Amino acid sequence: MTNPIPSIALVGNPNAGKSSLFNALTGARQKIANYPGVTVERKAGHASFADGRPISLIDLPGTYSLTPASLDEAVTRDVILGKQVGERRPDAMIVVVDAANLDNHLCFALELLALGLPTVVALNMLDLAERDGLTLDPARLSRELGVPVVPTVAVRKRGLPELLAAIDGAIQSHQPREAAAAPPNDAALHQRARAIARAATVDETPVRRWTQRVDQVVLHPVGGLILLVTLMFVMFQAVFSWATPFADGLEGLVGVMQSWVVDTFPANFLRDLVVEGLLAGVGAVVVFLPQILILFLFILLLEASGYMARAAFLMDGLMGKVGLSGRGFIPLLSSFACAVPGIMATRAIPDEKDRLTTILIAPLMTCSARMPVYTLIIGAFIPAQKVGGTPIGLQGLVLFGLFLSGIVGALLVALILRRSVTKGNATGFMMEMPRYQWPRAGDIVIALWQRAWIFLRRAGTIIAATTVILWLLLSFPKVPEDSALSQVEYSVGGRIASGLEVLVAPIGFNHDIAVALIPAMAAREVAVSAMATANAIDAGDDEEKMAEQLGERLQGKWSLATALAFLAWFVFAPQCISTIAITRRETNGWKWPLFMVGYLFVLAYAAAGITYWTAVAFGLG
């Protein structure tokens, strides 16, 4: 072998529990990147054999066969066949099959075995199969397949040492052999798979599965939808109420750090940069970490429990009406966390036009980067009271309304696009509905940690950099003592913003907003840090003013109509370079990202304008 560290690929059907097995084998020692040239996520990690020899593991996207139907399935095929650019062909495979669904999963396993690589089959989720009344004979299955079969329960870390020992053995004892012929056609393959599954099944007690009773409620034509809307509603209420104590704590911490720097160091350029630029700007964004994590927690739990596919089923009827499919629901729901992974998740949509439309409307889903803006403005302008004696908070309700506007806007845009620029046949919708599963805390923690890390890294790099640049632009030249203008208005940045203000004044935007809009192109949450920086500069060394929270300061300066128009703008505005960049990569050109930016700006301007004019007409100006 040329490389001393054997590389082992985890392959299997979707819902075979591959990722759990991968997490159990590698723990937190994993790295997520992209395959070069394609946007499919490459999950790699390290583990070691019992005697300490290291191995590298890669987790390949789940697929049903070696004939790919979508981009990520193509990556699985190419890696296994050694055709993927920049990826060594794996030395061995762990084929992961769901013990309770052998009939189906053995089809792909047989195809993989025919390739002739050293292979071990992980008979995964054996506990769930037993719960369903199945008794299996792994030794018999091993004889039928001609490779070692190791029973595993990834979520309880059962069978892992045995699995690693078996793969070690398979690599050591492997004789290069001609690839055996796979059964000639789909029907023969399925027959063979069913025959093997029957042979390996010792006993099958029909159990009236409770999951079917659950599905009677969850997939009920009316009840299921009510449940879905309720879940979404609870999710958005939770984002607001659960996060508050944590966010307040972080905010306090930033304040303490600012005071400490002010008290410790002499007043100079560097101190101002740190206090007004870095701490005010980055701090204003970091305090939203709790909210973003709560949102991700909900999405991850819905996904891991198997509910997400049910939601896709329920939404398919509605999405079909606007020319999309239920498949698009998962990328769109992920876009509530961030449009970038959401747009990447559209790769699972087989139909090209369906996929393109889903990409184009993904930025309308309220991503977590909008949360800082929404929370700041709602917190400052919407009273924290209950709606008419109910336990529903008005602030949460407004937030829910903003999310809803994004969704309704997205559906309308999809409807128009599917009748014009992305016209095409009605698309198909076929997907497997996974069984319900109790999400494993460890898997959720790993995924949450990865999201938190990405967010903090963004805050530390892009957001920190734009805040510093903005601070410089807003701090110079220094305003003369006798000027009626504030420092921010007098500065270079302030004058650029004054130019922009002419354009956005008709829709009720003031100078504060104009200052925030340009750097917010880098990332939406920078709108908040930009306003925080501008306010910190105006506050100068006045400790009392600095202690005043940003929201309170805005209350004094903005009318309610302006605040509402600002919220409406952010429902639609395409303000995030990462989203534009990922759209360019996913659509292979500039045509669609430019189209997206154009239509979103028009919508944002119109929505903010209509909101402002309506509010003014009702006397809120």
Partner 1 sequence: MTALLDRAPLGVAVRIARIDWTAMSDDEGRRLREFGLMEGCEVTPRHRGSIFSRDPLALTIGRMQVIIRAKQAAAIEVEAISGETGAA
Binding site for partner 1 (CB under 8 A): 64-65, 67, 69, 100-101, 103-104, 107, 132, 186-187, 190, 206, 212, 215, 219, 221-222, 224-225, 309, 312-314, 316-318, 320-321, 325-326, 350, 426, 428-433, 435
Q: How far is the CB of 203 from partner 1 (least distance, A)?
A: 14
Instruction: Please count the residues of the chain.
Output: 621
CB of 64 to partner 1, least distance (A): 4
Residue 134 or 561: the one with the smaller Cβ distance to partner 1 is 134
CB of 309 vs partner 1, minimal distance in Å: 7
Structure tokens at 3: 């490389």
Nearer to partner 1, 350 or 372 (CB): 350
CA angle 339, 62, 109 (to 5 degrees): 175
Q: ∠ at Cα 173 (171, 179), nearest 5°? A: 75
Neighbouring-strand partners of residue 98: 124
Q: How far is the CB of 555 from partner 1 (least distance, A)?
A: 42
**3-state SS class at 9:** strand
Tokens for 93, please give them.
Answer: 């495979």
- Give least dist CB 313 to partner 1, A: 5
Closer to partner 1 at the Cβ: 352 or 542?
352
Q: Provide φ and ψ at 435, rounded to 5°.
A: -70, 160
Rounded distance between C-alpha atoms, residue 510 and residue 514, angstroms: 6
Of 44 and 96, nearer to partner 1 (C-beta) is: 96
Are the CB atoms for 331 and 362 separated by under 8 Å? yes
Q: Which is nearer to partner 1, 216 or 483 (CB)?
A: 216
Integer-rounded Cα radius of gyration of the chain? 28
Taking the least distance from each CB to partner 1, the nearer of 432 and 543 is 432
Q: Minimum CB separation from partner 1 for residue 408, in Å?
A: 14
CB of 412 to partner 1, least distance (A): 15
Q: Provide the 3-class DSSP secondary structure of residue 386.
A: strand
Q: How far is the CB of 99 from partner 1 (least distance, A)?
A: 10
Is residue 47 within a helix (H) or strand (E), and if so which, with residue range? strand 41-48
Closest separation in Å from C-beta 494 to partner 1: 50
The reply to whether omega before 477 is within 30° of 0 (cis) is yes
Between residues 392 and 433, which has the closer beta carbon with respect to partner 1? 433
Report, in Å, the least distance between residue 327 CB and partner 1: 9
d(CA 19, CA 589): 32
Which strand (E) or helix (H) includes residue 10? Answer: strand 7-12
Q: Which is nearer to partner 1, 225 or 301 (CB)?
A: 225
| CA atoms of 95 and 89, how far apart (whole Å) | 15
Closest CA to 174 of 58, 92, 113: 92
Q: Which C-beta is closer to partner 1: that of 103 or that of 144?
A: 103
Rounded CA-CA distance 378/396 in Å is 9
Q: Which residue from 126, 69, 119 is spatially nearest to 95, judged by alpha carbons?
A: 119
First-to-last alpha carbon distance for the chain, in angstroms, is 74
C-beta closer to partner 1: residue 290 or 306: 306
Q: Is 588 left (phi over 0), alpha (psi -120 to 50) or beta?
A: left
